[in-house]
Structure 1
Amino acid sequence: MTEQQSMPSEPGSGHPEPAVRRPVLLLVLTLVLFAEAVTVLGVGVWSLVQLVSSPPASYATAVALLVLIFAAGAWLLAIAVGTYRMRPWIRGAGITWQVLQIVVAVACFQGVLGEPADGWPLLIVAVVGIALLLSPSVVAVTRREV
């Protein structure tokens, strides 16, 4: 083994990073975030089909909502990729998303959005996501050394 291969590479040096073993909980979190992203993007596609097939009360509102849905899906994909790459910023971004998901679940329970039964999957996935984000093994591999 050469000296260059045995030393850790500097960020941006063009050398591949040494292989790091990803904890199982990090991989589960990555799968949860990818599933959430695919679901949000699927809702976006469904909303787009609804927009094309039946006229909305307000096209401006419908288009704005579509933009927000697809932006949220793209952001979730970025968080999922960042999670797989063990980036430190994913914990804050992931917790923010899960808290927003809990807010939507509570709104479903109260009948403000959707049906009360729609809130349970949202709440369960959000609680699992927060538990995974705060698990010691995930925190350890996404901690940034200062």
Structure 2
Amino acid sequence: MKDRARPPFFWGLVVMLGIELAAAATLAIVLLIDLVALEPTSIATALALTVLVVIAAGWMAATLVGLLRGQAWVRASAIVWQVLQFAIGLGALEGSFAQPAWGWPIIAVSVITFGLLFVPSVVKATQGRAGSGG
């Protein structure tokens, strides 16, 4: 991958996954601070949510590193994340605690990123394998 120029859509995907990583990491930090500074109604629920968001941030970080190395597995990882993120966005639009101001941007980012994952130049740029010197 070092000898080939990366296409613009590849860098678009890097930016989109970077935005998602920044959002997940920010949320993880906020939840960790809340866990320490506030008294949650349910400590078990607060811990579980915090752990899940920290895992998601780690997942996104690993995916972004893999993308920058041009590895093929990142497409599957990012597709799974986009589906989960889309579901989170839909959930934010519904129910008694609906937050459309959060839901629509989450859905938009998911759809754009999902589309970028299937652009032929991005697929070609991420065909490397873990053991291929990347």
The one-letter code of the counterpart of 1:139 is V
The structure with the larger Rg is 1
Distance in 2 (CA, whole Å) between partners of 1:126 and 1:20 is 28
* RMSD across aligned positions (CA): 1.8
* Matched position secondary structure for 2:14: helix
Return the offset for 1:113.
Answer: 5.7
Residue of 117, 121, 127 corresponding to 1:133? 117
The one-letter code of the counterpart of 1:40 is A
Residue of 68, 77, 83 corresponding to 2:52? 68
TM-score (norm 2): 0.88
* Matched position secondary structure for 1:143: coil
1:1-146 alignment runs, 5 A limit:
18-111=2-95, 114-143=98-127
- The Cα offsets for residues 75-134 of structure 1, whole Å up to 9 and x where unpaired, read as 101111111111000111101101111101111111366412211110110011011101
Which fold has the larger relative contact order, with Cα–Cα distance below 8 Å and residues 6 or more apart in sequence?
2
Give unmatched runs, 5+ long, in structure 1: 1-16
Distance in 2 (CA, whole Å) between partners of 1:80 and 1:114 is 30
TM-score (norm 1): 0.81
* Matched position secondary structure for 2:62: helix
Size of the aligned set, in residue pairs, is 129
* Matched position secondary structure for 2:23: helix
